[in-house]
């Protein structure tokens, strides 16, 4: 039997050990994950190149934690979404890290689901992202649930691609063997058109009366995809939606201007954008 370790409403399935074997990280080579020490080693290897929002960070949007508009508590897309659909959006949105264009994290988010890089490159990117997401959920799940004022998730969901990619979404495939909460199925609107605006009919979901959904997404640019998915979950009966995004996309020049790079706002594994709420 494969041992399982329950973690704040989730379970990491694998040989969880007190001491992890050495992990070879040359060129981010994909390696078997034997337990939490190995996962944390992979996160530490990425950390110097990452930046992430910190709780109460200056000039950050109070919703998506990206750069806010001048003199505004929110960025323009989030402010627009709130005006159009208040009460139907996600309760909490937390990026694990910033995905600065041209940086290693943004590159991993492209490589793990693209057919263009070699298989080894895709596998390596997937390994790094999987470790980042699982460790984040383990360490900061309580921050998310407390901020959303829920006991924890009853369901998981992943934001579908607007074009209806066939088969299992790469992000769900990345982590579904490691998380034990049931999945809520989201489907894109038939037709496969690429939609970029907030749209309550963009996705549909089966009945979810009273569900508490943890929705994960790989990249947030304007947030229209994730918030459209949150609206579909609400319409299906979900009582709460917490969204975790692997990478809040930011242009390089924008990151430099706003002081959101690794030097000015480094990634700290022990913190998150809503960490203060957990104290």
| Tens of pLDDT, residue by residue, the chain (279 residues) | 445 566 656 777 766 554 344 444 444 444 555 688 889 999 999 999 999 998 877 789 999 999 997 788 999 999 999 999 999 999 999 999 999 999 999 999 999 999 888 989 999 999 999 999 999 999 999 999 999 999 999 999 999 986 656 778 999 999 998 888 999 999 988 765 556 789 989 999 999 999 999 999 999 999 999 999 999 999 999 999 999 999 999 999 988 888 888 988 999 999 999 985 434
Provide the pLDDT for residue 5: 65
Question: Among residues 175, 140, 135, which one has the least CA distance to residue 158?
Answer: 175
Q: How big is the CA angle at 210 (ends 245 and 214), to the nearest 5 degrees?
A: 15
For 72, the token pair is: 């505004």
Provide the pLDDT for residue 185: 94
Question: Among residues 159, 164, 169, 273, which one has the least CA distance to residue 224?
Answer: 159
Contacts of 233 (CB under 8 A, 6+ apart): 157, 184, 186, 205, 208, 211, 213, 215, 241
Q: How many other C-beta atoms are found inside a 10 Å radius of the C-beta of residue 123?
A: 17
Report the C-alpha gap between 265 and 37 in whole angstroms: 25
pTM of this prediction? Answer: 0.90
């Amino acid at each position: 039997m494969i041992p399982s370790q329950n973690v704040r409403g989730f379970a990491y399935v694998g040989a969880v050990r007190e001491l992890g074997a050495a992990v070879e990280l040359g060129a981010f080579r994909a390696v078997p994950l034997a337990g939490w020490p190995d996962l944390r080693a992979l996160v530490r290897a990425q950390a110097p190149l990452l930046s992430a929002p910190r709780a109460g960070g200056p000039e950050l949007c109070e919703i998506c934690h990206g750069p806010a508009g001048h003199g505004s508590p929110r960025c323009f897309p989030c402010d627009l979404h709130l005006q159009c659909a208040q009460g139907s959006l996600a309760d909490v949105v937390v990026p694990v890290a910033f995905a600065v264009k041209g940086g290693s994290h943004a590159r991993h988010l492209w490589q793990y689901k693209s057919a263009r890089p070699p298989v080894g490159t895709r596998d390596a990117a997937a390994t790094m992202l999987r470790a980042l997401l699982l460790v984040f959920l383990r360490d900061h799940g309580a921050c998310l649930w407390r901020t959303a004022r829920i006991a924890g998730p009853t369901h998981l969901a992943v934001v579908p691609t607007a074009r209806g990619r066939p088969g299992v979404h790469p992000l769900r495939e990345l982590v579904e063997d490691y998380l034990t909460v049931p999945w809520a199925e989201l489907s894109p609107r038939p037709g496969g058109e690429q939609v970029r605006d907030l749209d309550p009919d963009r996705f549909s979901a089966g009945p979810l009366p009273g569900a508490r959904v943890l929705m994960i997404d790989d990249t947030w640019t304007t947030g229209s995809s994730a918030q459209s998915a949150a609206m579909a979950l609400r319409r299906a009966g979900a009582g709460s939606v917490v969204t975790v995004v692997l990478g809040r996309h930011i242009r390089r020049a924008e990151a430099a201007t706003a002081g959101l790079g690794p030097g000015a706002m480094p990634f700290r594994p022990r913190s998150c954008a809503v960490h203060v709420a957990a104290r």
